[in-house]
Structure 1
């Protein structure tokens, strides 16, 4: 693109391809000049044709630098850049207070500046310009300093015009001559336009500043909440782990004491057996000597008279010393299994405690309640009646047996608990705000539902198709936790701290509302209501 300070008079020094002053100019056989790099790139991507006269060359001509043109272009580039720098410095500086240039002693504040005199005047010294005829034709403006810098060096006239094409200030003579084909506007017009731009930009900057200040506060608040959450969770973990460590140390000490006592008993038993064995060995050795002597005699009568009988007082066949761990292994395994269960329970307790840190106060939205549902005054209890109430069929009201929470969530995490004690049927979860509220709906994520239900003792996650849940303990209170940004919906047995089911990989794109359905009464078997319970923070 051509530089801002090039005009029509500069055509001899401009490359017709890049429209800028020549760089390494070369002349082709038809006599036209181009930048060496420009014509080379053109011929690489196109045929060997002159961009100016369209003469076609069968063989690509050799390119040589046009020395004279190169020197002239370099000289013109230098002078043009100097002129551009000179013009760029010619700005009218308007300080807070401009003083009169005529006052000699105590200089007064100027009220006007004269473009013709290039002088600023106070009210007193301005008087001749109002009185003398030849001075009254002078152009007076708001007071400014360095007036000589805002006068055209070529024509000696004030720079009252602005060329939008070359981005230059100029006098009216310049505008009518060298810039007559350019888009030239009065300086005041450009000033007003730029001032409006500045005001718009200033307003945008202020808005950007406010947005960033708000974001800073949000980040600081997030860090503060995160720190509080971390401190609370640290307290939970330390307390629970301390209890578990204490319990494990107690089990360890008990087991070690049992092993030590068993070992002591084993050693005492072994010592008694060894002592008795030594005594019997001595007796047997003595008897063996007697038998040996008698076996060597030839006196028949003597052998028969003294023939001893072999009397063994103890049968050692079934005698054994019990191991110090006999009878303890099974007990140890039981104790360790108990400890393992306690650790798993601790992990679940900590996870549920962390979820409870994101507890929200949920109330029921009567405007969405099915006409068969009855809502308590505090908006915390909902039950099903036998008679349909006369309620307006508004767009937000559910035609199926359900009700939504008043609160909606579109980011972050939230948790609430619902008492389901005494019920044989219920549905709980969260839904998109755009679910179809009229007619029958298939409850599944595709339709905007993330829910579980109980039907006659069987629990299912409504995934579409539904998934049976193997719940060991019947929950009396169900906790619902949602991490909007991660895409998780978790259901917990809030009393036992046991997970029921978790929806993962959810893609939330709009507001989520808590969803409740106490289901029909079934002749009184399912008359118990659903109750939104207060959250207990057990730290």
Structure 2
């Protein structure tokens, strides 16, 4: 054999996968040889079992056994070439039980000898005829635990009755009439069970990762909602503080203006009094000088002119009306309270509108529901009355004779919001309706009939259709109307988007079926109401505070 080994070359003993000298070589049915570990890893990473060299397929993974002849040749080649596949045992490796100085990594364990061997010390088990009969296995620790403690035989069977591993003698002696299966069969069953459990745990891990993503997304939404609420709060309180500052400035300005007018009047009276005092002093001086004269003729001649009375005002009844400031602050506070009440109400409506706008949905009109005289835009966002009816099939979905149309989208839970532009129109109806509403004949729009709507009629009459039209007061003519629905709370609210005013709210209802956004542009009215109703994109900047 030694002579023959000298004729071998390294290329003849190389594994086609790892490109190294064979280590525990196995032979496939097609005749090609590979390291056992290499071919098993190759098949584990593939969906089918093929020979890497010739691509021949096998029905299932083979029970491969080491080709001892090729293994011996590979071992002798390594020895003759001064090579060894032995590796120093590391943490986690099974060490060779024979090595004394440096423990090498075991490559096989013998269930008869109850020992593990490195490549070098395994050689006798591969060459000696007596040792070749021993049962070898992949290196394992605690070989004593793999032997039957009663019969000192390898544990090769599994007793399903006692759920324990047994040797070949146990079913005959100690486990009579028990259900016993080969250990490999139980191994495959348990491995399959472990695979299922692994898949289940993998699914649980994925579920929890998705849950984390969901929680993070919820946290993000919560943070965005908090930021929006803070922004709305800052805007509301800033507006209120500005109102307070204006009211304070108006109060101080009014008091200062009134006080300034009083001071002006007082200064005018004082100037007049001081002028009369000056004239009286001058008159007194002249009289005093004349009284000292000893010239009889002079005194007589000038007395008449000096005796004339000085023209003065009778100041007895003259008073300056000083203003009273009592109650001024109270009056200002009362006015401020009324103003702030209106302001706060409006700001709350604006804040509600901002929150509603977070649930904006994208709508398109459903042409299958539109009355034959309605004209829809190509993108399904606009509708107006076209006077002439189109020749359309009058299906059960189509409104007739009411000039109405529904959106394609429906909602049966949660919240949603949309806006419709109604600028330059004298008549329109907006809201939501149940899927089951009657679409043929003249049906009064009201909640009892499955409609929650408001309308404009005759260019100035706004009303909520609650059975009979309930007139609505508007501060300005709405050019864009927002509709908010909370399905679960049974609430439908209408807003004047630009003014931020709440027009009306239907509340306390219990929705039980799909809700569809409802639109009616009204009749053309000889061109007076020709402008379309437009489903507009929600824009927060439309709201004015």
Measured against aligned partners, the alpha-carbon deviations of 1:53-112 in whole angstroms (never above 9, x if no partner) come to: xxxxxxxxxxxxxxxxxxxxxxxxxxxxxxxxxxxxxxxxxx964343334455544343
Measured against aligned partners, the alpha-carbon deviations of 1:381-423 in whole angstroms (never above 9, x if no partner) come to: 2112223345688998767644444666677654433222444
Measured against aligned partners, the alpha-carbon deviations of 1:232-255 in whole angstroms (never above 9, x if no partner) come to: 313422432232122221232134
Q: SS at the partner of 1:471?
A: coil
Show the counterpart of 1:428. Answer: 430
Q: In the aligned structure 2, how far is the partner of 1:132 from the partner of 1:481? A: 90
The answer to whether the aligner puts 1:234 opposite 2:233 as a matched pair is yes
Q: In the aligned structure 2, how far is the partner of 1:362 from the partner of 1:107? A: 73
The 1:365/1:165 distance shift into structure 2, 3 A limit, reads: farther
The answer to whether the aligner puts 1:117 opposite 2:113 as a matched pair is yes
Contact 1:374 1:383 (C-alpha < 8 Å) held by counterparts: yes
Show the counterpart of 2:137. Answer: 141
Contact 1:269 1:321 (C-alpha < 8 Å) held by counterparts: no
* 1:19-34 alignment, distance < 5 Å: none
Larger displacement relative to structure 2 (444-453 or 328-337): 328-337
Contact 1:381 1:530 (C-alpha < 8 Å) held by counterparts: yes
* Aligned with residue 531 of structure 1, among 528, 534, 538: 534
The 1:357/1:417 distance shift into structure 2, 3 A limit, reads: closer
Q: In the aligned structure 2, how far is the partner of 1:384 from the partner of 1:328? A: 58
* 1:77-92 alignment, distance < 5 Å: none
* Aligned with residue 453 of structure 1, among 446, 450, 455: 455
Measured against aligned partners, the alpha-carbon deviations of 1:257-300 in whole angstroms (never above 9, x if no partner) come to: 366568879999999xxxxxxxxxxxxxxxxxxxxxxxxxxxxx
Show the counterpart of 1:480. Answer: 483
The answer to whether the aligner puts 1:373 opposite 2:374 as a matched pair is yes
Q: SS at the partner of 1:100?
A: coil
Larger displacement relative to structure 2 (209-218 or 501-510): 501-510
| Offset at residue 218 of structure 1 (A) | 1.0
Show the counterpart of 1:497. Answer: 500
Contact 2:492 2:505 (C-alpha < 8 Å) held by counterparts: yes
Q: In the aligned structure 1, how far is the partner of 2:103 from the partner of 2:457? A: 97
Measured against aligned partners, the alpha-carbon deviations of 1:327-375 in whole angstroms (never above 9, x if no partner) come to: 9799859844762465245434542552465273634235555143323
| Offset at residue 213 of structure 1 (A) | 2.9
Show the counterpart of 1:39. Answer: none
Show the counterpart of 1:245. Answer: 244
Measured against aligned partners, the alpha-carbon deviations of 1:153-174 in whole angstroms (never above 9, x if no partner) come to: 2333344445556554444545
Contact 1:266 1:323 (C-alpha < 8 Å) held by counterparts: no
Q: SS at the partner of 2:227?
A: helix
Measured against aligned partners, the alpha-carbon deviations of 1:437-478 in whole angstroms (never above 9, x if no partner) come to: 965677666776543334556555455x46624334553432
Contact 2:420 2:480 (C-alpha < 8 Å) held by counterparts: yes
* Aligned with residue 421 of structure 2, among 416, 419, 422: 419
Q: In the aligned structure 2, how far is the partner of 1:112 from the partner of 1:192? A: 22
Q: In the aligned structure 2, how far is the partner of 1:528 from the partner of 1:331? A: 48
Q: SS at the partner of 1:452?
A: strand
The 1:220/1:265 distance shift into structure 2, 3 A limit, reads: same
* 1:403-418 alignment, distance < 5 Å: 403-405=405-407, 413-418=415-420
* Aligned with residue 157 of structure 1, among 146, 153, 169: 153
Aligned-pair RMSD on alpha carbons? 4.8
The 1:436/1:223 distance shift into structure 2, 3 A limit, reads: same
Show the counterpart of 1:362. Answer: 362
Contact 2:251 2:329 (C-alpha < 8 Å) held by counterparts: no
TM-score, normalization: structure 1? 0.59
Q: In the aligned structure 2, how far is the partner of 1:383 from the partner of 1:418? A: 13
The 1:488/1:325 distance shift into structure 2, 3 A limit, reads: same
Whose relative contact order is higher, 1 or 2, with alpha carbons under 8 Å and at least 6 apart? 1
The 1:512/1:128 distance shift into structure 2, 3 A limit, reads: farther
| Offset at residue 204 of structure 1 (A) | 1.4
Contact 1:113 1:144 (C-alpha < 8 Å) held by counterparts: yes
The answer to whether the aligner puts 1:193 opposite 2:189 as a matched pair is no
Show the counterpart of 1:387. Answer: 388
| Offset at residue 530 of structure 1 (A) | 0.8
Structure 2, unmatched stretches of 5+, are 1-90, 271-313
| Offset at residue 491 of structure 1 (A) | 0.6
| Offset at residue 512 of structure 1 (A) | 5.5
Show the counterpart of 1:5. Answer: none
* 1:62-81 alignment, distance < 5 Å: none
The 1:100/1:438 distance shift into structure 2, 3 A limit, reads: farther
- Number of matched pairs: 406
* 1:15-414 alignment, distance < 5 Å: 97-104=93-100, 107-130=103-126, 135-162=131-158, 167-171=163-167, 173-174=169-170, 185=181, 186=183, 187-257=186-256, 260=259, 324=324, 335-336=335-336, 339-340=339-340, 342-344=342-344, 346-348=346-348, 350-351=350-351, 354-355=354-355, 358=358, 360=360, 362-368=362-368, 370=370, 371-389=372-390, 401-405=403-407, 413-414=415-416
Q: In the aligned structure 1, how far is the partner of 2:154 from the partner of 2:342? A: 91
Contact 1:362 1:405 (C-alpha < 8 Å) held by counterparts: no
Q: In the aligned structure 2, how far is the partner of 1:447 from the partner of 1:177? A: 85
